Amino acid sequence: MDGNRRWAEQHKLELLKGHERVATTIIQELTEHCIKIGVPYLTLWAFSTENWHRDTQEVMGIMDLFRSGFKKNARELHEKGVRLTTIGDLSFFPGDIQKNIAEWVRATEKNTAITVTLALNYGGRDEIIRAVNKVMSQRSGSGTLATEITQAEFSHYLDTAALPDPDLIIRPGGEKRVSGYLPWQSVYSELYFTDTLMPDFGAEQLDEALADFAQRQRRFGK
């Protein structure tokens, strides 16, 4: 979800206002629209492993948005039948944020309208390294460390083990790269790039992306 800071600058607002608009308005709008048109899974990259290197005040502000946003948004999404899940290494977040996330994940686990996954402290390389370490840890204890592993088995060690691979990856904000987003899972995903900044990426922009996706002919290497 790129372009929050640039949007705030263009509107002569504090930088956090871009993040705030996405957290309080855009996520709700996109989720509701996905439910309406029958999209079963929506994954949103809310905070990357690299985002910790931003200005301290900005990071602290984003943490406060996570605190306030989860209290409001999670409740509203729960009422709409949204199942919330996360990917990424949550151990880096303050304890109260971890607890809040865990509570809402548990509270919504039986909802069926849509699965909304938040990528929090997520980085593709970090995910793969953590998965490799899980394999090594488990196999070293069972004495099968040297046994070859299949792609299907390795996928079970990834954060997305319970999720399907993405059909479409949308990158707003004008950059034409995926920046380490779901590298293992996205090998056959369709990519859509747009100059629209994330705080302006609502239901209409999602429909444009889906219309473009509908014109693609997917071959999956065949």
Residue 123 lies in a domain: yes
Quick one: pLDDT at residue 3? Answer: 96
Residue 220 lies in a domain: no
Quick one: pLDDT at residue 86? Answer: 97
Residue 127 lies in a domain: yes
- β-bridge pairing 114-122 and 190-193: unpaired
Quick one: pLDDT at residue 148? Answer: 84
Residue 121 lies in a domain: yes
Q: Where are the alpha helices (DSSP H) in the chain?
A: 4-10, 16-21, 27-37, 56-69, 75-79, 95-107, 124-142, 151-155, 203-214
Model confidence pLDDT, tens digit, residues 159-201: 999 999 999 999 999 999 999 999 999 999 999 999 999 999 9
Q: Is the pTM here over 0.85, yes or no?
A: yes
* Distant-in-sequence, close-in-space partners of 97: CB < 8 Å, separation ≥ 6: 63, 66, 67, 70
Is the pLDDT at 143 greater than 70? The verdict is: no
Model confidence at 19, pLDDT cuts 50, 70, 90, reads very high
Residue 221 lies in a domain: no
Residue 167 lies in a domain: yes
Contact of 121 with 46, CB cutoff 8 Å: no
As for how many domains the chain has, the answer is 1
Is the pLDDT at 146 greater than 70? The verdict is: no
Residue 11 lies in a domain: yes
Model confidence at 134, pLDDT cuts 50, 70, 90, reads very high
Model confidence pLDDT, tens digit, residues 25-72: 999 999 999 999 999 999 999 999 999 999 999 999 999 999 988 878
CA distance 93 to 157: 22
Contact of 3 with 194, CB cutoff 8 Å: no
| Domain encompassing residue 37 | 4-213
Quick one: pLDDT at residue 145? Answer: 65
Average pLDDT over residues 9-38: 96
Q: What pairs with residue 45 in β-bridges?
A: 119
Is the pLDDT at 141 greater than 80? The verdict is: no
Active site includes 100? Answer: no
Model confidence at 147, pLDDT cuts 50, 70, 90, reads confident
Q: 153: buried, middle or exposed (CB in 10 Å: 19+, 13-18, 0-12)?
A: exposed
Contact of 123 with 43, CB cutoff 8 Å: no
CA distance 35 to 81: 9
Q: 168: buried, middle or exposed (CB in 10 Å: 19+, 13-18, 0-12)?
A: middle
Residue 218 lies in a domain: no
Is the pLDDT at 114 greater than 90? The verdict is: yes
* Distant-in-sequence, close-in-space partners of 168: CB < 8 Å, separation ≥ 6: 189, 190, 191, 192, 209, 210, 213
DSSP for 160-179, written as a single string:
TTTSPPPSEEEE-SS--S-T
Q: Which of 51, 89, 167, 212 is catalytic?
A: 51
Number of residues written out for the chain: 222
Quick one: pLDDT at residue 158? Answer: 98
Q: Which of 2, 4, 100, 159 is catalytic?
A: 2
Active site includes 73? Answer: no
CATH number at residue 117: 3.40.1180.10
Model confidence pLDDT, tens digit, residues 80-100: 999 999 999 999 999 999 999
